[in-house]
Structure 1
Amino acid sequence: MIATILPPAIPLGGTVPAMTAHAISVSLPTWEDNVDYEKGNKRVLDAMETGYPRFFIHRSIQKLAALCLNKFGRPDELCILLPSPRVATQARDFLSSQQPSLPSRIVEFVICPSISSLPPEPCTPSGTSSVDIIELQILLFDKSHWSTAKSFWQHTGDGISSRMAETALNLLGEFTPISNLTSPMMEKRETKPYSRNRHYSRKSSTPTSISPTTPLTPIVTTPLQSRQIDEELLNEENLTTELTTYLEERYGRNLPLFNAGLAKQALKRRIAGGLLPSDEDFGKIDDVARAGGAGKKAVSEEDVFLYPTGMSAIWHAHEVCRVAKRRSGGQEGKSVCYGFPYTDTIKILTKWGPGCHFFPTGGNQDIPSLEKVLELKSSDEPPILALFCEFPSNPLLTSPDLVAIRKLADKYGFVVVVDETVGNFINVEVAAFADIVVSSLTKIFSGDANVMGGSLILNPNSSHYTILKETLSTTYEDLYFPEDAVYMERNSRDYRSRIKTINDNAHLVTEYLYSHSLSNPSHPSQTIIKKVYYPRWITPETYVQSQRLPTLGKGGFGGLFSLTFTSMIASRAFFDALPCAKGPSLGTSFTLASPYTILAHYYELDWAAGCGVEEGLVRISVGQEEEDVAMAMFQVALQAAERAVVEESGRGR
């Protein structure tokens, strides 16, 4: 009976979610699949339809890059595609900063329909109310420098999105998906399918030779809808119930693309705490204001900035701190990475700027060590620039002492940047302690795992607010592709109700697993679970400092937890038997698991182990399944792991 109610398996390399064009995860259903993926095994790579977008270049982006390379590149070059001249310049500077310096060049490619195919309006830049033009920045470099250029794409999160690539392909008349390009992007150039006649001409009279700025005529165009949202509604201070109903009834689930600006406005208000009245469970949490309170200003939508990915928000938070410090006449110092972070965060802090101090535990025991570093700064070394932490951390679910960190920041003048992705602002409120709050909207805020996004919030009560806001007002670029914003707005409407269900499911599942772990004094004799990493049991005293009360659902500890086991045999058997989606990412509406350390730190396992992150750790993001289904999944996996350990023990006798 259990087998009939469990979700079907997604085959190796399939999109997660299944059959989703812009899926942000890929199915790696066994432990061996994950190891072979890290090793670059052909068996796995050939099966992959997609992958996490900052690591695996989406097929549509690969195809567009191949077209650009065929037009502008040399035989010894590869390229990455970027959304603005500023980002392209930053990428070029990153390559030139390497030792030795790596040369590169930038080509701007403007893709726009011919004027005759448009309404009587000029083309508007990408990112505004309608997408009539795509302005690509093509960074070209020697093939041997691919891995370095790809690291810029990965760490900054500022590459173009798959939907932007598809829009560009549509404008070029190349809208058929490509199937079997190799990864990384264009390792082998295929010129035959992209001959000039096929690529740059229609069967009509479109020219066969086109300069980078010549408008192109698309094969397929979607007429712009003439209906416009009532200006009176748009100018209201809040998205009212009437407007919400108007949007739902008139346009259905998705806003039309020409109203992407409205979608972004709704996202900013939602992130600032002003969740729409149409959201399920609206009003069941009285205090939704971010950072507000007695004598304090609440976060407004003007304090929220959107980015194409969560990693982009983190990268730009670091960049804003650096620029603000220089503008205020100070000298840029090192940053602090407090707690074991998501892999790219520490790489950002070490590859841009003078480096960072790393405190891998990030617990109360590190506060004295942190203060010692702050006190012992020599006169010839600038003070700490900023402290970056996660609340709670990924994958160990440690909650740093934000009260103590805030006191140190006020005393020594550094900026506090908190990543709230795992905690999410329905369960916790960190804005009161941070100067900057960043989040990956890709995760639980979206839930559907079909669009990327990130946000950065400035705390209006911060002593650094004025200089940070001034810096952002002159450096911020809206790189969030309109269609991505529309999907993110749609996905996040039921954010609250999803959080409640996930809180309830995670509370139920982790309680069962904890009872079968060595941490429980009355655990069963055959226990193979060593530890359950979940805020309920990991640093609960500091988690509660920022926990929203009353909690939404049981516990209010979120949907992410990690498990360690008594042996690698148990880890592998548990993971392989767990009947849920398996792949990178978290915060999905469905349960998603991964052997986190293998995926994130395969070539630095000893280093990760030294930071307390074991090789056999399994990370699980709980979804919205029915409670009996959620429980059955983990019961099946635990029983399989226990059998595997018994069988291995029998073979060893």
Structure 2
Amino acid sequence: MSATITTQLGEALPPGQKHAITFHLPKWTNVLRMVNKDRSIIAQLKSFYPRMMPGHVDVKALSVEVLKFLQVPEGNTTFIFTSLVSAAECIDFAVKGPRVDDENLPAIAEGPETQPMPREELSLRVLEVEKTGQRLYAVIFSMAKMPRLMHFWANAGTGITTRVAEESLPHVDSLREIPIDSPAREIPESPAHLEIKERIATLLERSPVGGERSVKVTKDDIYLYQTGMTAIYKTHKYILSTHTPPQKSALFGFAFYATLRVFSDFGPGYKLYPFGTADDLTSLTQFLESEKEAGRHVQAIWAEFPTNPSLTVPSLPRLREIANTYNALLIIDDTVGSFANIDLLGSNGVDILVTSLTKSFSGYADVMGGSAVLNPLGSRYQELKTLYTANYTLDYSPLDASVLASNSRDYLVRSHTLNTNTQSLVSYFQTHAQSPSSPIKTVQHPTTNPEFKANYDLVKRPTTEEFAAGYGYLFSIVFKNVDMLRVFYDNLNMHMGPHLGAHRTIVITYVKALYGKDLGWAGGRGLSEASMRIAPGLEDVDALIGDFENALKAVTDQDGKTEGDVEKALEGGLVSL
């Protein structure tokens, strides 16, 4: 059993660095407060996932200084970007607003998010920190409109990073405003950027399925972004630009919430196949055929491999075959499977691979990053290379790249531990679930579903002396009812919050936390309110099992106590049937 966790509500995982991207959310009552958007709990957060909100102390302080310098009237606020393109896209989104009528997403209630926002209610001001040369693009708007613009900050992920804000703050005395049409200052590719790209290229060609390839990924096929969501958002935007009018996409299998929002809010929409099963493959094919017959073209098929949080695994060969038949790009997010374990490239692989480098590639929960990789053996490689060359600008700060490069040097070593810890815990819970008295209904992981395991094994990297590939670092458990989940959560000696792939184990009641107001919608797409997502860390696995065992015992004790109380009441004639 592990030592008792002393991390307080709202604090980051130890060691609690200034740029930590986690926060601890113990106790079920606090989950409910988050679901209900209780502002008092937001105020208690001392650490933030930076893409979720611009709440980091340095980002907030720099925003105050920018507003003060520009003499912006009270009642207004700002989102700061480091690229003119991203700032302009934020304004375009604010005017257009989030899509409110998408069947693939819970409905957005009438309120600040849905109210029209005329262009004249927003302004864009450009500043330069003379002592560092850093450009700041400030989108200024009424604080009352924050909920509307927050969609862009949280889902596109292109806002200023915490390290850039930290570097800029000591030099705000050198701020000067410059014309909006001033020539942009490009970020030069630093040694850290190069190290990251070369590491990714090496990992992608390490132990490929089918043997060594004739054409290999190089650093020039890899594009770095501020976050994993930025990689998805930018790739989606690039592809939208290739068709007039823009065409729909398809998403096979469920995906992370922000991914759904990006596909909904930018472009003409998408078709969701949430279960990722063989039946969904049939439905996907029927949809593509109907679009073709109507003279339309589906621009891309997207998928996660495996999906978050249900851990379904699509058939890569079938998706590739379908994409070829209908001339659609195939784009997969491999964050949960990760570079170390799965090979999705080659002549029969994806066209584009997108990854959140924030997760296991970084591994220490203190920096964000994302990547998009073009498959050099893909049939549309040259077309995509031209597209990225025309649209891509490096906006990933050398400050963040330096930390990510350093963190990722032990990626394979950590991946071994993450894989083995996860598999040990999956086996533990799977064994537990087989008992009729267990509170656990199912365990969601590629190895617990024969169809999904077969799909995964097709792309699992062969074992080498250096590394034995595994099945990733994430799984979910589903309880027989929500009350059992509540007791388990309240008695679990574990860090709790929205992250995965870190040095410490993190759990979250993912469905309850993200879809707590839309549980019927989520349930109709295969997501259970009684589920917990578990992202094992690097701790001793026996200690982790001891912690989970204690929480499970609390559930069975509570369940037994309840049954006993009912029996006593019946014996005493206190309950009528």
Structure 2 length normalisation: TM-score? 0.88
**1:161-310 equivalences in 2 (<5 Å):** 161-172=161-172, 200=173, 211-213=176-178, 261-274=190-203, 288=206, 293=211, 296-310=214-228
> Are 2:238 and 2:388, in contact at CA under 8 Å, matched by a contact in 1?
yes
CA offset at residue 8 of structure 1? 2.3
Of 98, 105, 108, the match for 2:123? 105
**1:534-545 equivalences in 2 (<5 Å):** 534-538=445-449, 539-545=452-458
> Are 1:307 and 1:454, in contact at CA under 8 Å, matched by a contact in 2?
yes
Cross-structure match for 2:392: 476
Cross-structure match for 1:48: 45
Q: Provide the secondary structure at the position in 2 that maps to 1:26.
A: coil
Q: Provide the secondary structure at the position in 1 that maps to 2:415.
A: helix
Of 35, 53, 68, the match for 2:32? 35
Deviations 1:457-502 (A, max 9, x none): 0001112211211111121111111111000001000000111111
Cα distance in 2, alignment partners of residues 152 and 558 from structure 1: 30
Cross-structure match for 1:320: 238
CA offset at residue 153 of structure 1? 0.8
Cross-structure match for 1:547: 460
1:502 aligns with 2:502: no
Cross-structure match for 1:80: 79
CA separation of 1:297 and 1:367: change in aligned 2, threshold 3 A: same
Cross-structure match for 1:429: 343
Cα distance in 2, alignment partners of residues 212 and 445 from structure 1: 38
Q: Provide the secondary structure at the position in 1 that maps to 2:141.
A: strand
**1:476-625 equivalences in 2 (<5 Å):** 476-517=392-433, 520=434, 523=435, 525-538=436-449, 539-550=452-463, 556-625=470-539
**1:370-389 equivalences in 2 (<5 Å):** 370-377=284-291, 379-389=293-303
CA offset at residue 553 of structure 1? 6.9
Q: Provide the secondary structure at the position in 2 that maps to 1:16.
A: coil
Deviations 1:370-415 (A, max 9, x none): 1111111255552101111100000000001111000011111001
> Are 1:340 and 1:361, in contact at CA under 8 Å, matched by a contact in 2?
yes
Cα distance in 1, alignment partners of residues 42 and 505 from structure 2: 24
> Are 2:222 and 2:371, in contact at CA under 8 Å, matched by a contact in 1?
yes
**1:343-358 equivalences in 2 (<5 Å):** 343-358=257-272
> Are 2:130 and 2:176, in contact at CA under 8 Å, matched by a contact in 1?
no
Q: Could you tell which deviates more after superposition, 370-379 or 332-341?
A: 370-379
> Are 2:209 and 2:460, in contact at CA under 8 Å, matched by a contact in 1?
no
Cross-structure match for 2:13: 16
> Are 1:291 and 1:299, in contact at CA under 8 Å, matched by a contact in 2?
no
CA separation of 1:141 and 1:485: change in aligned 2, threshold 3 A: same
Of 550, 554, 560, the match for 1:636? 550
Cα distance in 1, alignment partners of residues 236 and 480 from structure 2: 39
Of 63, 66, 78, the match for 2:64? 66
Q: Could you tell which deviates more after superposition, 98-107 or 531-540?
A: 98-107
CA separation of 1:652 and 1:9: change in aligned 2, threshold 3 A: farther
Cross-structure match for 2:561: 647
* CA RMSD between the two structures: 2.2
> Are 1:445 and 1:492, in contact at CA under 8 Å, matched by a contact in 2?
yes
CA offset at residue 320 of structure 1? 1.9
Deviations 1:315-354 (A, max 9, x none): 011112122x23xxx6531101111110011111111111
Cα distance in 1, alignment partners of residues 191 and 502 from structure 2: 25
How high is the sequence identity, in percent, across the aligned residues?
Answer: 30
Letter in 2 for 1:158: T
Q: Provide the secondary structure at the position in 1 that maps to 2:528.
A: coil
> Are 1:289 and 1:298, in contact at CA under 8 Å, matched by a contact in 2?
no
1:417 aligns with 2:417: no
Count of residues paired in the alignment: 534
CA separation of 1:297 and 1:55: change in aligned 2, threshold 3 A: same
Letter in 1 for 2:118: L
Letter in 2 for 1:610: G
Cα distance in 2, alignment partners of residues 68 and 23 from structure 1: 24
Cα distance in 1, alignment partners of residues 176 and 225 from structure 2: 31
> Are 2:274 and 2:525, in contact at CA under 8 Å, matched by a contact in 1?
yes
Letter in 2 for 1:168: S
Letter in 1 for 2:446: P
Of 347, 351, 363, the match for 2:277? 363
Structure 1 length normalisation: TM-score? 0.78
CA offset at residue 45 of structure 1? 2.2
CA offset at residue 555 of structure 1? 7.1
Q: Provide the secondary structure at the position in 1 that maps to 2:518.
A: helix
CA separation of 1:34 and 1:543: change in aligned 2, threshold 3 A: same
CA separation of 1:626 and 1:378: change in aligned 2, threshold 3 A: closer
**1:439-478 equivalences in 2 (<5 Å):** 439-478=355-394
Letter in 1 for 2:129: I
> Are 2:494 and 2:547, in contact at CA under 8 Å, matched by a contact in 1?
yes
> Are 2:207 and 2:463, in contact at CA under 8 Å, matched by a contact in 1?
no
Cα distance in 1, alignment partners of residues 256 and 441 from structure 2: 23
Cross-structure match for 1:157: 157
> Are 1:80 and 1:150, in contact at CA under 8 Å, matched by a contact in 2?
no
> Are 2:53 and 2:154, in contact at CA under 8 Å, matched by a contact in 1?
no
> Are 1:453 and 1:488, in contact at CA under 8 Å, matched by a contact in 2?
yes
Cα distance in 1, alignment partners of residues 445 and 332 from structure 2: 19
Cα distance in 1, alignment partners of residues 395 and 165 from structure 2: 14
Ranges in structure 2 where 5+ consecutive residues have no aligned partner: 98-114, 180-186, 568-577
Cα distance in 2, alignment partners of residues 342 and 60 from structure 1: 27
CA offset at residue 54 of structure 1? 1.4
Cα distance in 2, alignment partners of residues 477 and 405 from structure 1: 30
Cross-structure match for 1:143: 143
Cross-structure match for 1:406: 320
Letter in 1 for 2:318: A
Letter in 2 for 1:162: T
Cα distance in 1, alignment partners of residues 285 and 477 from structure 2: 32
CA offset at residue 568 of structure 1? 1.2
Letter in 1 for 2:537: G
Q: Provide the secondary structure at the position in 2 that maps to 1:439.
A: strand
Q: Provide the secondary structure at the position in 1 that maps to 2:44.
A: coil
Cα distance in 1, alignment partners of residues 514 and 495 from structure 2: 18
> Are 2:53 and 2:150, in contact at CA under 8 Å, matched by a contact in 1?
no
Q: Could you tell which deviates more after superposition, 444-453 or 64-73?
A: 64-73
Q: Provide the secondary structure at the position in 2 that maps to 1:28.
A: coil
Letter in 2 for 1:100: P
CA offset at residue 431 of structure 1? 2.4
Cα distance in 2, alignment partners of residues 578 and 554 from structure 1: 31
Letter in 2 for 1:496: L
> Are 1:31 and 1:595, in contact at CA under 8 Å, matched by a contact in 2?
no
CA offset at residue 44 of structure 1? 2.0
Letter in 2 for 1:448: Y
CA offset at residue 627 of structure 1? 2.7
